[in-house]
Structure 1
Amino acid sequence: MASESPERLEPQEALSAAQRARIERNRQRARALKEARIVHRSPTDASEGIREISVGKTRALDTGGGFLLEEDVVDAPAPHAARPAPLVHRTEQPRCLECDRLFPQSYLFDTFDYSVCDECRDEEAHALVTRTEAKSEFLLQDCDLDSREPALRCVRRRNPHRARFAEMRLYVRAQVEARALAVWGSAERLQEEREARRTRRQLAEQRAAARRLRALRMDVRSSLFDRTHAPHEHRFADEVYAADAAEYSRTCLDCGHVQTYEKM
């Protein structure tokens, strides 16, 4: 293999110290940007081919299958950088509200501080509801969700219908129901308030429909009045002679006014 000619080595040797320093800075900057995107790969994730990716403030899991799984961002009084470790000592373990057994760790407890183990997690009772649904269905206000102690935890996720909208805040349905009972006192009082609001909404809709109908009738009446009685310049048709009355008449083409007269 022929060695490179001295002519090809001249450009590299001709680089100044400032140019070589600028090239080294660019290389270090590119390396730092590359390393900033890959946060870490834990031993358990490395065996499964999964690594955690961080771009800006967004965290996701690279499954290696051609897509990223977005992590839930927990909105809690104290931010959690990672899922807490399981509680080993039985004296510190919470008791499940469903089966009344102690458990070291669960998704609902770690994410929402709700003492239900993974075995008792129900798809309906422990489903996630949006903040709008929590306020409309259970008649809660922002202060009931955020200010009343203890504040309900939630997870934030991107809006699947409108990417530019704010992130959705999702709550556990069972916790929202319990908060509604605490606010309204009982399920019967909550149902009565629902019926009262439904009745008021129906009455408001009926009054609005009556106002629209009344306005429509007034518009029709005013248009008829303007067309029939408003002063205007008549446009008469050809005159007609009535032999029995010995007079002439002509009719306005716009308003139907009949003008009779005699000719001398």
Structure 2
Amino acid sequence: MNAEQKARIEANRQRALARLKSRGIIRDDQAKQIESRNTPASKRAAPDSIASQDVTENRAKAMKLYAPHPDTRRDASAETSLRDELDKDTGSKRPLDKIRPTVRKQDYIEYDLATMRNSNGGFINFDEDEGGGSENRKNQSLEEWQRAQQERRALYEDAQPPEHPSLAPKCVECHINTELDPLLHDVFKLQVCKACAKSLPEKYSLLTKTECKEDYFLTDPELNDNALFNRFEKPNPHSGTFARMQLFVRCQIEAFAYQKWGGETGLDGEWQRREEAKAQRREKKYKEKMREMRVKTRAQEYTTKLLNRKHGKEHVHAFSAAVDGGVNEDGIRMVKRRCFECGLETQEISI
């Protein structure tokens, strides 16, 4: 496009703007805005300079407006710079920059997909606290990794590995197996293997707190005493907002209950006594309900007598046998009946 064509296009644009202004379609400020958009880029002012000029003008207007009230003025830029300097000095973020959840996710979420990484051999949930993180594990040698695993196992089992397999602790039931149940061994301090714990549920099954109170008649203070019983806590299966469920091993609960109630016979006697007390309470409640019902019945009888005395006894009709009553206006056969006492007559349709 040559200079003549550009001049012709610009003249046509000016004439179109003048025609729109003369018709009142656009205002003068809108025409100036359109002309500024069509101005070449070299003739326009830089956007940053325009923005800074607008900010300077607005600040001058604000200072002029709030000049009679010097106490209400504040410099936002000064406050921002002061806050930045404080953040640099402390080297920590503000409290609201990072909000931590109040619920422990590990109690309710077994596998958090958001924390999994692709290890190029299957997705594995890395635990950064074990082994010093994934970056340190990559740089570990085989000997260092084995040593870390031994230290971890010794810390978990709270005992050093035996020097010889014959010195390893054995199951107290079968006296053969050395692979003990980790839950019974670590939490309840019982040397029992998994096979024996599964085959002897009358000794090594787990009981809830409610079952301990109902079956062995133990109290809450006794069950809450950590010196008396070992316990295993886990999230409540009914709801995440409920209190954590406490599990006890049956043999320890049973031994304490026998000591408290005087053996198995004493426990059975306590159960019998409580059952008799329950039966007595049920009988007492039944008698109380019966007494209330009798009082209510007598009150109803007394009320009926008063009504009969005031209004007379309720009349019960004694009708005679049906006699022919002729035909009604619709041509249907009718029968009549009469009360012997009050003489009330009724007409019935004979079907």
TM-score band by shorter chain is 0.5 to 0.7
Task: Work out whether residues 155 and 171 of structure 1, in 8 Å CA contact, stay in contact via their aligned partners in 2.
Answer: yes
Seen in structure 2, the aligned counterparts of structure 1 residues 27 and 18 have a Cα distance that, compared at 3 Å, is farther
Change (3 A) 1:11 1:118: farther
Q: TM-score, normalised by structure 1?
A: 0.56
The structure-2 alpha-carbon separation of the partners of 1:109 and 1:205, relative to structure 1 and needing over 3 Å to count, comes to: same
The alpha-carbon deviation at position 216 of structure 1 amounts to 0.7
What is the aligned partner in structure 2 of residue 239 from structure 1? none
Q: Which residue matches 1:58?
A: 104
Aligned partner of 1:137 in structure 2 is: 215
Cα pair distance change 1:103/1:30, threshold 3 Å: same
Q: Does 1:184 align with 2:251?
A: no
TM-score normalized by the length of structure 2: 0.44
Separation in 2 of the partners of 1:110 and 1:6? Answer: 73
The match for 1:210 among 287, 296, 313 is 287
**Structure 1 residue 165: deviation in Å?**
4.0
Query: What is the alpha-carbon distance in structure 2 between the residues aligned to residue 104 and residue 128 of structure 1?
Result: 16
Partner of 1:113: 189
**Corresponding residue for residue 224 of structure 1:** 301
Classify the secondary structure of the residue corresponding to 2:98.
Answer: helix
Instruction: Flag the structure with higher helix content.
Output: 2
Distance 1:56 1:208, change over 3 A: same
How many residue pairs match? The answer is 199
Give the drift of 1:108.
1.7
CA 11–122 in structure 1, closer or farther in 2 if over 3 Å, else same: farther
Offset at residue 193 of structure 1 (A)? 1.9
Please state whether the residue corresponding to 1:177 is helix, strand or coil: helix
Q: Name which structure has the greater RCO, CA cutoff 8 Å, separation 6+.
A: 1
1:87-98 to structure 2, matched below 5 A, reads 87-90=159-162, 96-98=171-173
Alignment match, 1:40 = none
Aligned pair in 2 of structure 1 residues 143, 16: CA closer, same or farther (>3 Å)?
A: closer
For 2:172 and 2:48, the matched residues in 1 are separated by 77
Q: Structure 1 residues 84 and 175 mapped into 2: Cα distance closer, same or farther (>3 Å)? A: farther
> After the TM superposition, which residues 126-165 of structure 1 pair with which residues of structure 2 at under 5 Å, given as runs?
126-147=204-225, 150-161=227-238, 163-165=240-242
Higher percent of residues as strand: 1
Task: Report how far residue 113 of structure 1 moved.
Answer: 2.9
C-alpha contact 2:170 2:180 (8 A) present in aligned 1 = no
> 1:93, 1:104 within 8 Å by CA — same for their partners in 2?
no
Residues 166 and 85 from structure 1, CA distance in 2 versus in 1: closer, same or farther, beyond 3 angstroms? closer
Matched AA of 2:98? L
Deviations 1:144-168 (A, max 9, x none): 3345x84212233444335554333
Partners of 2:271 and 2:220 lie apart in 1 by 18
